């Protein structure tokens, strides 16, 4: 029997297997989601789920089987509760012990005599790439104390199921453009018409001193949850001294990633990085083709990474241009395609969270990221290169990042040369974007990149928090959401609809709830110029294409338009005729968060959002 036949057979088996569908392997099935009591002893991991999709929580003793008792409560009454056949410990001491056990070098000099001199990265990463002396006990203690009681370090969710995928990225092939089945026609090749004013750096103004780099993510967004319970996103905060890098160019960044792989690592960016530059930022060559840009113009961040920008000697934030940042990839795992591989894994009764190719536990902070110019897009309306793409990524915290088109807006071309700024797609889950600044771009954020054809990967996933962000003069997708259980609060959306406004700055549509989305919007400030108040529900919030979310709740906003000389905002709920969720589709954020009034949020966001604010 060939592999395809085996996959079909496996898929057929799952339809007759209650074990695979109703509860995870190694668990005992208990009662259904009707408020009945599940009887067990000790402290155990428990699960609520149906059809091979589960959410997990640690519980002690008998518990009520109710959606409200789990981190995401969208499960129907036909879902089952179950509990692990082995007991566990939820005490903070076990977490601390786990973190403390990681080895950390007692001290590393930041001089050229660094112990890294014999490593493969020595020729690429400057001698200052290793931070000043760090005591192993203090690093372990710091990270352990930051992992809240009752949670686990997200690092412990990575391992054999998280392969290193980054080795082929950031390597230029300088190939000639060729016509392919996706429409990348050499006739459409066009180099970026404008290059930025470079702000390269060759030295670290901090002298290698770490300030915010070892911080773990706060517990105020979806990133702090998982299907196996509450977690703390630590990124690379527990990195050993030999896994702390300071990089000044693209090749050093790629070398640091390839050396550390999935180890906890802190990568500090100083100055301006662009993979079109080589030889210590002395040789520039534009991407030569779609292939050259796709691989040579992208970096892929592996699990357990903290990537941060360090302000330069002039106080300017670190900047990344001409480079796509990838977090995760939808790999086939040996099957003929990604969907077949994933479904075969589930059909075999295995936990989806253990499926190989997940990328987890990443922190990105204090960086300016310019959306790359696509030198050879697939057609006149669709470019390939995003500024950042999350794909099969989990437990991701993005904080104080600035993203826009930089020096190459779409108006410089007669076709589309940019895709998204920040896309969260292909089954990604538990992501928070906070305190960030998005500006001068067309397609801002896509959550879920397809309708029914993506149910196998996206249904029940895409839990995303968007908070305290500044959306400034953008065209659309703030965000466009399919499938996602998205919480937006205290964001400021500023748009221009005046006649004569440049197409690069003109507002088209804002929050865009689409197929099977379930959104909660709280206390946001919408300021859209020259727009009649009765048009806001077609602009500021617009689902488009007649598609319907499964739930939409919106309240506490302020709405301001200068139409007719108006200068006074009005209270606005923004419900816009959408139906609120009912029954099992009602959910409450399972994390604590500080909710400001919309007016206070506007002032706070304008003052604090974006790169350069962390020092």
Distances (CA, A) of 522 to 537, 548, 588, 599: 16, 20, 12, 12
* Alpha-carbon dihedral angle through residues 306, 311, 313, 319, given to the nearest 10 degrees: 90
Distance CA 242, CA 559 (A): 51
Decide if 50 contacts 80 (C-beta within 8 A): yes
Decide if 226 contacts 157 (C-beta within 8 A): yes
Helices marked H in 147-249 — which ranges? none
Phi, psi of 44 (to 5 degrees): -140, 155
Q: If you search the block for the tokens 């086939």, which residue do you land on?
A: 332
485, 434, 328: which is closest to 391 by C-alpha?
Answer: 328
SS3 518: strand
Decide if 398 contacts 367 (C-beta within 8 A): no
Q: If you search the block for the tokens 């390597």, which residue do you land on?
A: 171
Distance CA 342, CA 174 (A): 34
Distance CA 346, CA 168 (A): 29
Q: What is the DSSP string of 554-567?
A: EESEEEE--GGG--
Distance CA 491, CA 493 (A): 7
Query: CB-based burial of residue 478 (10 Å sphere; 0-12 exposed, 13-18 middle, 19+ buried)?
Result: buried
Distance CA 409, CA 423 (A): 18
SS3 103: coil
Which of the following is catalytic: 392, 454, 477, 514?
A: 477
Q: Are strands 402-404 and 367-370 parallel, antiparallel or unpaired?
A: parallel
> Which element (helix H / strand E) includes 396?
strand 393-399
Distance CA 169, CA 172 (A): 8
Distance CA 599, CA 11 (A): 53
Angle at 367 between CA 362 and CA 373, to 5 degrees: 100
Buried residues in 495-530 as b, exposed as e (16+ CB within 10 A): bbbeeeeeebbbbbbbbbbbbbbbbbbbbbbbbbbe
Residue 587 has a CB neighbour count (10 Å cut-off) of 21
- The answer to whether 477 is a known catalytic residue is yes
Distances (CA, A) of 531 to 133, 311, 509, 535, 600: 57, 38, 12, 7, 23
SS3 128: helix
Which active-site residues does the annotation give? Answer: 477
């Amino acid at each position: 029997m060939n592999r395809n036949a085996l996959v079909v057979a496996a898929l057929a088996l799952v339809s007759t297997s209650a074990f695979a569908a109703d509860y995870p392997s190694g668990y005992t099935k208990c009662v259904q989601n009707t408020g009945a009591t599940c009887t067990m002893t000790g402290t155990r991991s428990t699960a609520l789920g149906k059809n091979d999709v589960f959410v997990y929580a640690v519980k002690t003793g008998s518990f009520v089987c109710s959606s409200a008792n789990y981190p995401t409560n969208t499960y129907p009454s036909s879902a089952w509760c179950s509990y692990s056949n082995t007991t566990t410990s939820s005490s903070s001491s076990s977490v601390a012990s786990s973190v403390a056990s990681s080895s950390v070098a007692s001290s590393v000099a930041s001089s050229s005599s660094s112990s890294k001199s014999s490593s493969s990265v020595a020729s690429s990463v400057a001698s200052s790439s290793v931070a000043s002396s760090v005591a192993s006990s203090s690093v372990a203690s710091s990270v352990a104390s930051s992992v809240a009681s009752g949670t686990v370090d997200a690092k412990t969710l990575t391992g054999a199921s998280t392969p290193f995928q980054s080795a082929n990225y950031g390597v230029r092939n300088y190939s000639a453009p060729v016509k392919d089945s996706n429409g990348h026609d050499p006739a459409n090749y066009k180099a970026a018409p404008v290059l930025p004013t470079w702000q390269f750096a060759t030295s670290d103004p901090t002298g290698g001193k770490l300030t915010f780099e070892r911080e773990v993510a706060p517990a105020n967004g979806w990133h702090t949850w998982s299907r196996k319970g509450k977690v703390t996103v630590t990124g690379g905060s527990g990195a050993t001294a030999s896994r702390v890098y300071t990089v000044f160019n693209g090749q050093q960044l790629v070398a640091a990633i390839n050396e550390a792989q999935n180890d906890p690592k802190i990568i500090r960016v100083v100055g301006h990085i662009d993979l079109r530059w080589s030889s210590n930022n002395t040789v520039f060559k534009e991407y030569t083709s779609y292939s050259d840009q796709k691989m040579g113009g992208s970096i892929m961040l592996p699990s357990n990474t903290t990537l941060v920008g360090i302000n330069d000697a002039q106080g300017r934030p670190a900047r990344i241009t001409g480079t796509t940042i990838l977090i995760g990839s939808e790999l086939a795992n040996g099957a003929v395609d990604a969907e077949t591989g994933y479904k075969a894994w589930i059909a075999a009764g295995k936990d989806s969270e253990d499926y190989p190719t997940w990328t987890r536990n990443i922190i990105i902070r204090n960086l300016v990221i310019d959306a790359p110019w696509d030198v050879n897009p697939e057609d006149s309306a669709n470019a390939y290169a995003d500024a950042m793409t999350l794909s099969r990524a989990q437990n991701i915290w993005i904080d104080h990042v600035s993203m826009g088109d930089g020096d190459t807006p779409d108006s410089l071309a007669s076709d589309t040369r940019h895709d998204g700024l920040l896309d969260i797609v292909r089954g990604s889950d538990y992501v928070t974007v906070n305190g960030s600044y998005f500006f001068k771009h067309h397609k801002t954020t896509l959550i879920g990149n397809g309708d029914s054809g993506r149910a196998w990967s996206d249904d029940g996933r895409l839990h995303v928090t968007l908070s305290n962000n500044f959306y400034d003069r953008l065209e659309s997708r703030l965000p466009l959401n399919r499938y996602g259980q998205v919480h937006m609060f205290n964001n400021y959306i500023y748009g221009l609809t005046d006649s004569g406004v440049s197409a690069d700055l003109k507002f088209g549509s804002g929050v865009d709830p689409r197929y099977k989305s379930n959104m909660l919007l709280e206390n946001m400030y919408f300021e859209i110029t020259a727009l009649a108040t009765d048009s806001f529900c077609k602009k500021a919030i617009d689902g488009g294409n007649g598609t319907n979310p499964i739930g939409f709740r919106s309240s506490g906003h302020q709405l301001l338009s200068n139409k007719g000389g108006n200068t006074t905002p009005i209270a606005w709920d923004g419900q816009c005729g959408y139906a609120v969720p009912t029954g099992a589709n009602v959910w409450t954020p399972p994390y604590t968060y500080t909710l400001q009034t919309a007016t206070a949020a506007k002032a706070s966001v304008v003052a604090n959002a974006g790169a350069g604010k962390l020092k």
